[in-house]
């Protein structure tokens, strides 16, 4: 029996609980986080790619697979493809004004997670992936241990941050009490690179959304390790250690889709 992939597992959980919104959200989260292999009509030309499109009674679909051997099994021959993250595929298909609505076929005919995702669902997912929590800018009076946040959110944050290699030194989840009243929760990043802050904020937003937690339940903040509040975060907070790169890699040519802020262009 073929080994189940994370996408297979989350798809099966969604089918087993058709009325469970949390299971459905977790499937879409896995889809966005997965590396996908997009079937192309021809070889990529720089950062321009041409997905192979299939016209069906339900609409036009591009096809992706979560393993290369599944793509090969479906095609039955050597075919061009692009390896992209799920969020880049969604941004490319739903976020670019091509004048054509395109859905997504996932693992068709080759895996238990086979599914057709219509264009409208891709637009929803594209919008969802763009949500970010507010960045805290109020005067902070007290920093305490977090309370009352659901365990599913803690797990989702841990999973997200485990992939944020080299983007920050650490992160702390705390409860905040503001001067003049008011309170809330904060995920404070320490030592985050300036260029990485939007990506980290988006990752937190995704963890909230796909956990079924309201966006207002958690703010984000970015602090230098020398800031006084960094010590207060470390003393009171739940710590997340972000993985650090083991070595500096050379700057070579970038494959299409490797920069999430510059998705491939459709041709």
> What is the H or E stretch that residue 59 is in?
strand 59-65
Residues 6+ apart with CB under 8 A from 261: none
How far apart are the C-alpha atoms of 192 and 200, rounded to whole Å? 9
Sign of the C-alpha dihedral, residues 65, 66, 68, 72? negative
17, 23 in Cβ contact below 8 A? Answer: yes
Tens digits of per-residue pLDDT, 229-245?
899 999 999 999 999 88
CA angle, 62 then 63 then 64, to 5°:
130
pLDDT of residue 267: 61
- Which tops the pLDDT comparison, 247 or 44? 44
Q: So what CATH class is 140-241?
A: alpha beta
- Second-level CATH architecture of 6-129: 3-Layer(aba) Sandwich (3.40)
pLDDT computed for residue 224 by the predictor: 93
As a whole number, mean pLDDT of residues 23-40 equals 92
Are 49 and 80 within 8 A, CB to CB? no
Phi then psi for residue 262, to 5 deg, are -135, 75
User: Which of 31-35, 208-212, 235-239, 243-247 has the highest mean predicted lDDT (pLDDT)?
Assistant: 235-239
Say what the pLDDT of residue 263 is.
Answer: 60
Site of tokens 């365990």: 151
Higher pLDDT, 70 or 213: 70
Residues 6 or more apart whose CB falls under 8 angstroms from that of 66 comprise: 5, 7, 34, 35, 36, 37, 106, 107, 111, 113
Secondary structure (3-state) at 208: helix
Nearest Cα neighbor of 140 from 96, 100, 188, 98 is 188
**207: nearest Cα among 263, 258, 167, 149:** 149
Neighbours of 63 (CB within 10 A): 24
Contact 86, 31 (CB under 8 A): yes
In which residue ranges of the chain is CATH 3.40.1350.90 found? 6-129
CB 98 within 8 A of CB 263: no
């Amino acid at each position: 029996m073929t080994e189940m992939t994370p996408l297979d597992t989350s798809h099966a959980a969604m089918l087993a609980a058709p009325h469970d919104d949390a299971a459905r959200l977790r499937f879409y989260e896995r889809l966005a986080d997965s590396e996908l292999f997009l079937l192309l009509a021809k070889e990529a030309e720089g950062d321009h790619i041409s997905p192979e499109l299939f016209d069906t009674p339900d609409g036009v679909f591009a096809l992706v697979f979560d393993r290369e051997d599944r793509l090969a099994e479906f095609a039955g021959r050597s075919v061009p493809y692009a390896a992209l993250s799920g969020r880049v595929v969604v941004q490319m298909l739903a976020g670019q004004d091509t004048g054509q609505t395109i859905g997504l076929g996932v693992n068709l005919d080759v895996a238990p997670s086979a599914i057709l995702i219509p264009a409208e669902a891709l637009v929803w997912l594209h919008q969802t992936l763009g949500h970010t929590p507010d960045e805290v800018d109020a005067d902070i009076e007290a920093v305490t241990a977090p309370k009352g946040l659901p365990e599913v959110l803690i797990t989702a944050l841990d999973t997200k941050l485990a992939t944020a290699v080299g983007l920050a030194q650490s992160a702390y989840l705390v409860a905040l009490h503001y001067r003049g009243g008011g309170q809330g929760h904060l995920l404070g990043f320490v030592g985050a690179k300036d260029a990485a802050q939007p990506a980290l904020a988006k990752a937190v937003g995704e963890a909230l959304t796909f956990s079924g937690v309201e966006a207002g339940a958690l703010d984000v903040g970015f602090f230098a390790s020398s800031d006084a509040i960094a010590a207060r975060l470390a003393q009171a907070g739940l710590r997340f250690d972000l993985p650090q790169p083991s070595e500096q890699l050379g700057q070579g040519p970038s494959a299409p889709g490797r920069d999430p802020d510059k998705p491939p262009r459709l041709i």
